[in-house]
Amino acid sequence: MGLAGDSAVRRTGEGTWEGAVEQGWDIAGNANGGYLLTIAARALAEAAGRPDPTTITAHFLAPGHPGPVRVDAGVVKAGRRFATATGLLRDDDRPLLAVLGSFTELSGAEQGPERVDGHPPDLPPPEACAAVRATDSFPPPFMGRVDLRLHPDDAGFATGAPSGEPLVRGWFRLGDDEPLDTIGLLLAADAFPPTIFNARLPVAWTPTLELTVHVRARPSPGWLRCAFHTRYVSAGFLEEDGEVWDATGRLVAQSRQLALVPRGG
């Protein structure tokens, strides 16, 4: 099954949904955080009665592992355009994710003034980029569920030659070219290797504390162009800012992730 099936939820009662963390979405034995967020977001979208997250924030409480999960979700406020919902994703033992999001219905023809000073990252074609292939360890099994191609200048960390700049750019699509909806953009925002891999710092594992994604539009079919960068590694934390552009060159999502830099590197 693809992402749509592996993140599906089923309403089981007033304010409760059931789903499952499926095999193969893990990194170092723990489910990818963006994947966990897609499960929770589908429940919140149903609760809100609107399909598209416009802004969603997740606080990561514990690692997720394959098995059944439950989402308890409710609407905080529903207006004419937006509905805001909150929820808790948990397994049989403990809460995994606390989520707050505002949802709407994006038509693809949103109106309003536009000023876009940025632009999609300049990337070689996908076939000229470094494909990330899944293994049992590193790269992790998760990479078998997505098609990730890194800019050659940003892929040196994999061979012990990091660029020195905490920047990771590349192409993204789901495995088997599965169509991507706005909830799938939440996965894209957390699918790339950590920027700190290129920073020439003695850090290999940076667990996520919080992830926020702003969705601007439904993505057009095709590859996504993505860029993630970090400016500050300080006081035991780092931020990772991301941009996601669709095949037409439109900005469809932005993200910010706060991650922990473990003591001792």
Angle at 26 between CA 240 and CA 87, to 5 degrees: 70
Look up the CATH number of domain 1-105. 2.40.160.210
pTM score, two decimals?
A: 0.96
Sequential pLDDT tens for the chain (265 residues): 799 999 999 999 999 999 999 999 999 889 999 999 999 999 999 999 999 999 999 999 999 999 999 999 999 999 999 999 999 999 999 999 999 999 999 976 566 788 889 999 999 999 999 999 988 878 889 999 999 999 999 999 989 999 999 999 999 999 999 999 999 999 999 999 999 999 988 776 789 999 999 999 999 999 999 999 999 999 999 999 999 999 999 999 999 999 999 776 5
DSSP collapsed to 3 states, 226-260: EEEECCCEECCEEEEEEEEECCCCCEEEEEEEEEE
The CATH number, out of the four listed (2.40.160.210, 2.40.50.140, 3.40.50.620, 1.10.8.100), of the domain defined by the range 123-265: 2.40.160.210
Give the pair of three-digit tokens for residue 237: 């934390």
Chain centroid to CA 61: 16
Domain chopping of the chain, boundaries? 1-105, 123-265
What does the pLDDT read at residue 188?
98
What does the pLDDT read at residue 213?
98
Distances (CA, A) of 183 to 22, 35, 203, 253, 261: 17, 10, 30, 11, 28
- Euclidean distance between CA atoms 21 and 35, whole angstroms: 9
- Euclidean distance between CA atoms 153 and 129, whole angstroms: 9
- Euclidean distance between CA atoms 252 and 214, whole angstroms: 8
Distances (CA, A) of 28 to 150, 152, 242: 20, 24, 23
Give the pair of three-digit tokens for residue 222: 């095709």
